[in-house]
């Protein structure tokens, strides 16, 4: 079936719950066969993250508790935009310094991920952060993070073993591995 001929129409969007980070909606959508379906939609204001690389090549990671999984995870530093339209470069640099206590001297966009396209519009721009300068970690009142540094090889092993599961982190590290390979050739 040709994608161009499949027509979807959103007929209604009802706010079910307005949250601190996301808003939950119930959408009524007319699908190509003419029937209507109720679909969940989670609106997200956007986020930014970074792959912070120390001069020795190790990558700074943050270990933190995640309520949705009821366990600790190891992730790249990341956070939500403070306001709609905030430049993601600014947000990524801010979150890196807040969470790790390092300020980037150089940042370049590595990739953009749409985290879960089936039900949310969450988009995360992920930057490569280099020329890191040690400053002071200043966490939000509800953040309790541990900063750890790993080699890219160690992190690739964690991806292969299933230890690292966070989609933004896995995507970013795999992209960074390709970036490093391209830089060597």
The gap from C-alpha 113 to its chain's centroid, in whole angstroms, comes to 7
The crossing angle, in degrees rounded to 10, of helices 167-184 and 152-161 is: 130
Select from 146, 124, 140, 126 the least CA-distant residue to 65: 146
| Tokens read off for 104 | 């980037």
Select from 136, 175, 162 the least CA-distant residue to 49: 175
Q: What is the DSSP string of 40-56?
A: EEEEE--EEEEEEB-TT
How many Cβ atoms are within 10 Å of 5's Cβ, its own excluded? 7
pLDDT reported for residue 1: 56
The superfamily (CATH) of domain 45-184 is: Nucleoside Triphosphate Pyrophosphohydrolase (3.90.79.10)
Contacts of 35 (CB under 8 A, 6+ apart): none
pLDDT tens digits in sequence order for the chain, 185 residues long: 566 678 999 999 999 999 988 999 999 999 999 999 999 999 999 999 999 999 999 999 999 999 999 999 999 999 999 988 899 999 999 999 999 999 999 999 999 999 999 999 999 999 999 999 999 999 888 889 999 999 999 999 999 999 999 999 999 999 999 999 888 77
Sorted by where each begins, the domain ranges of the chain are 3-43, 45-184
Does the pTM of the predicted model rise above 0.85?
Answer: yes
Q: Which residue has the tokens 């599961």?
A: 165
DSSP state of 31: -
**What are the Cα distances from residue 86, in Å, to 27, 90, 101, 121?**
27, 7, 21, 16
Contacts of 165 (CB under 8 A, 6+ apart): 73
Rounded CA separation 171/184 (Å): 20
What's the angle, vertex CA 78, arms to CA 115 and CA 176, rounded to 5? 75
């Amino acid at each position: 079936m040709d994608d161009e001929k499949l027509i979807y129409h959103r007929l209604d969007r009802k706010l079910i719950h307005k949250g601190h980070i996301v808003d939950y909606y119930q959408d009524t959508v007319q699908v190509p066969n003419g029937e209507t379906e109720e679909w969940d939609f989670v609106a997200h204001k956007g986020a930014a993250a970074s792959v912070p690389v120390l001069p020795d090549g190790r990558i700074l990671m943050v270990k933190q508790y995640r309520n949705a999984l009821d366990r600790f995870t190891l992730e790249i530093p990341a956070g939500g935009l403070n306001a709609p339209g905030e430049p993601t470069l600014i947000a990524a640099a801010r979150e890196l310094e807040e969470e790790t206590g390092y300020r980037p001297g150089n940042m370049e966009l590595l990739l953009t991920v749409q985290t879960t396209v089936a039900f949310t519009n969450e988009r995360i721009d992920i930057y490569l952060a280099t020329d890191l300068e040690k400053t002071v970690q200043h966490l939000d009142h509800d953040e309790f993070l541990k900063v750890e540094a790993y080699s890219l090889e160690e992190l690739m092993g964690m991806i292969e073993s299933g230890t690292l599961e966070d989609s933004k982190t896995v995507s970013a590290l795999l992209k960074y591995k390709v970036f490093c390979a391209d830089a060597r050739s």
